[in-house]
Structure 1
Amino acid sequence: MRVPREIARFNRRVTNRAAQSITPWLPGLGTLQHVGRKSGRRYRTPLLVFPTRDGFAILIGYGPESDWLQNVLAGGATALEKRNRTIPLVNPRICSKADAANLVTPAFRTFYRLFPYNEAALVLTRSAHTSP
């Protein structure tokens, strides 16, 4: 299931701003920090994130044309805010939702599979350079 672009625009302008303060604390959610590939501006986007052995899998609900996804794939600085920590991430790669499910840690795998986004997931690895 892909979420219509109109909903994506509304979420970017309204819902995301309101959700940013609570998403780092909720299971399955986190705030992705990324840099605009054209503007160079820093962005913070609340997303569905699931831990893997060496990083995180992020469900792609708005399709491959999503700005946050394009920014991350362009190679700019990327980090995840989760539980009062900022985790630098590298090596973004897109894979099918099913392939990413095998990477998600067992404790979160059922929760991951419950979401109706069936297109794909972005998988990122924790950077060796961590921040406090």
Structure 2
Amino acid sequence: MQMPQALARFNRHVTNPVQRLWAGWLPPFAIVEHVGRRSGKPYRTPVNVFSADVDGKPGVAILLTYGPDRDWLKNLTAAGGGRMRRNGKDFGIADPRVVTKAEAADHVSAGARPIFARLPFEDAVLLTKTD
């Protein structure tokens, strides 16, 4: 299931500016920092994040609540990565890989896996931490 695109537009203009104030500090939220692939403009997008082991490396999994056709994901893919602020800490993220929720669940930390698996979304992105 994907959330409606009208809700995505509403969140981009109304909810996200408020969430940017605290999402980088309060679990399970985080801020994805990325650069526009055409404009070069810096962006900060709030997301829900789950700790993950990505091919033996520390990483994160993000459920794609509005599907994989998201500007922030396209920007990360074009640049090969970006930065994330989570729990008050900044770190690099790289190698975005869109997968099914079931595949991503295998990478999510054991404690969060039951919650992750029950959420009603189909796709996720796996990202490796770089620093």
2:13 aligned with 1:21 = no
Who is 2:10 aligned against?
Answer: 10
> What is the alpha-carbon distance in structure 1 between the residues aligned to residue 120 and residue 26 of structure 2?
19
SS of the aligned residue for 1:117 comes to coil
For the Cα contact (< 8 Å) 1:35–1:77, is it kept in 2? no
Who is 1:45 aligned against?
Answer: 45
Who is 1:112 aligned against?
Answer: 116
Structure 1 gap ranges (5+): none
TM-score when normalising by structure 2: 0.90
Deviation by residue 1:40-75 (Cα, 9 ceiling, x = unmatched): 111111111111121001111112221111111112
SS of the aligned residue for 1:113 comes to helix
* Offset at residue 77 of structure 1 (A): 4.6
TM-score when normalising by structure 1: 0.90
* Offset at residue 27 of structure 1 (A): 2.5
Structure 2 gap ranges (5+): none
Who is 1:56 aligned against?
Answer: 60
The number of aligned residues is 127
For the Cα contact (< 8 Å) 1:16–1:46, is it kept in 2? yes
Who is 2:97 aligned against?
Answer: 93
Deviation by residue 1:24-50 (Cα, 9 ceiling, x = unmatched): 233221111111111111111111111
For the Cα contact (< 8 Å) 1:33–1:42, is it kept in 2? yes
Matched AA of 1:122: V
Moved more, 97-106 or 44-53: 44-53
> What is the alpha-carbon distance in structure 2 between the residues aligned to residue 7 and residue 125 of structure 1?
28
| Aligned-pair identity (%) | 39
SS of the aligned residue for 1:106 comes to coil
For the Cα contact (< 8 Å) 1:73–1:92, is it kept in 2? yes
Please list every run of at least 4 consecutive aligned residues from structure 1 whose deviation after the TM superposition is greater than 2 angstroms: 24-28
> What is the alpha-carbon distance in structure 2 between the residues aligned to residue 76 and residue 14 of structure 1?
28
Matched AA of 2:120: P
> What is the alpha-carbon distance in structure 2 between the residues aligned to residue 70 and residue 30 of structure 1?
18
2:112 aligned with 1:126 = no
